[in-house]
Amino acid sequence: MSVEDLLAAFRARLSVPWRSDEAAAGRVWMLWYDKALERRVRGRLAEFRLAAEQAGKGWQEFDLAPEFGKWVAAQTWFERAAKRPATLGTVLPDFEERLIHELRGRLSQCGPDGILALTGSASLFGLMRVSTLIGKVADAIPGRLLVTFPGTHQAGIYRLLDARDGWSYLAVPIPSSPTA
């Protein structure tokens, strides 16, 4: 599958009318693709934005990739933790809560016809589960949350980077099948 195929599938999803009474899980769109395409997808996000805008939808982006580094560097205990990285696991729940709070804030800035594109989900690998993040913010999505997801989707099971046990989630997969 190519980025062009992903764009075509995204445009097709945009053409489906949005229901205002859509369940939280249906407001999450998982743009899933082979992990080898991560840089290409990120490099062409402007084309996804253009497609959304042409469909009359708003667009905002939130990149998760720098968030852990910014958060940990701002901590008073950073110097100590840098000398003992094994201790970082004890503070990961604090990072998770801060990230959930930040994402909820970003979602509150979106309208019912807006898309918040969540990029950099692979950067959470080993820190927290993407499924946890989505589950904790799904009730706050006014429009749609588009999660760029380098991994696989099969029969409702998503696997980040093809490396973890998958989780079953009712999000809308884009493309809807591997052959789309």
Q: In what helix (H) or strand (E) does residue 70 lie, and over which residues does it extend?
A: helix 67-73
Whether 119 maps to a domain, the answer reads: yes
8 or 175, greater pLDDT: 8
How many structural domains does the chain have? 1
Whether 180 maps to a domain, the answer reads: no
Whether 155 maps to a domain, the answer reads: yes
Decide: 6 and 31 in contact? Cβ < 8 Å: yes
Q: Structure pTM?
A: 0.87
Whether 58 maps to a domain, the answer reads: yes
Residue 146 pLDDT: 96
Q: Is the peptide bond before 93 cis (omega within 30 degrees of 0)?
A: no
Whether 8 maps to a domain, the answer reads: yes
Which amino acid appears at position 82 of this protein?
A
Structural domain that includes position 113: 3-19+26-174
Whether 134 maps to a domain, the answer reads: yes
Whether 179 maps to a domain, the answer reads: no
Whether 133 maps to a domain, the answer reads: yes
Residues 105-139: tens digit of each pLDDT: 999 999 999 999 999 988 888 888 888 899 999 99
Instruction: Identify the DSSP state of 112.
Output: T
